[in-house]
Amino acid sequence: GKDFVFAHPSADFESVANNLLRGAFEYQGQKCSAASRAYIPASAWEGLRQRLADGIASMKVGDVADFSNFMGAVIDKGSYTKLSGAIAEARGKLGGPVVEVLGGEYDDSQGYFIRPTIIVVSDPCYRTMQEELFGPILTIYVYDDAAYGETLDLCNTCTEYALTGAFFAEDRAAVREASERLRFAAGNFYI
């Protein structure tokens, strides 16, 4: 759990967007390899933000028997309570460590439905960057491009968990550096 996606400024951000949307929200984010935290350079954030916002807005959530739905309900009431609580907590911290919450609607009137949620934070060690929630919540830390190296270190130290990690870049030197510095940041590391 607490799997990460780290994007270098040289990354193909259409690919980053597609991988974040599928990686974070397929199976309601209830898979061990779900992307649950991401590190995005400030220079690419506005364009990526729009792609992600459009992507989660277009995802249909409902009964899994209807194959036009992208997501179904979360597994049980305990999961629903934990996830809706994390979203409510993030909304309560807007203007502090939480910059923005995209999506994040939830309803338990006919099942335990949590819509895809993106929490954007200014604190790279915010709770949802550290704790495994096992649901459709992706937390994003937007880093200053000049702090790329320091952010690699934060990715490696702000949580004790990471089954998988992915690094996106087209710059070969950045790939070499990240592969060395993040070598022990996840059990399965994809470049």
Question: Residue 63 is part of which domain span?
Answer: 3-190
Question: Any idea which residue has 């990690």 for tokens?
Answer: 165
Residues with Cβ within 8 Å of 138's Cβ and at least 6 positions away in sequence, in order, are: 20, 24, 25, 29, 35, 36, 37, 38, 116, 117, 118, 119
Q: Is 87 helix (H, G, I), strand (E, B) or coil?
A: helix
Give, as one character, the DSSP assignment of residue 136.
S
**Residues 156, 87: Cα–Cα separation, whole Å:** 24
Domain total for the chain?
1
Asked whether 2 and 130 are in contact (CB, 8 A), the reply is: yes
**CATH code (residue 173):** 3.40.309.10
Local confidence pLDDT in tens for the 191 residues of the chain: 689 999 999 999 999 999 999 999 999 999 999 999 999 999 999 999 999 999 999 999 999 999 999 999 999 999 999 999 999 999 999 999 999 999 999 999 999 999 999 999 999 999 999 999 999 999 999 999 999 999 999 998 888 877 899 999 999 999 999 999 998 888 888 98
pLDDT for residue 163:
87
Q: Is pTM, for the whole model, over 0.85?
A: yes
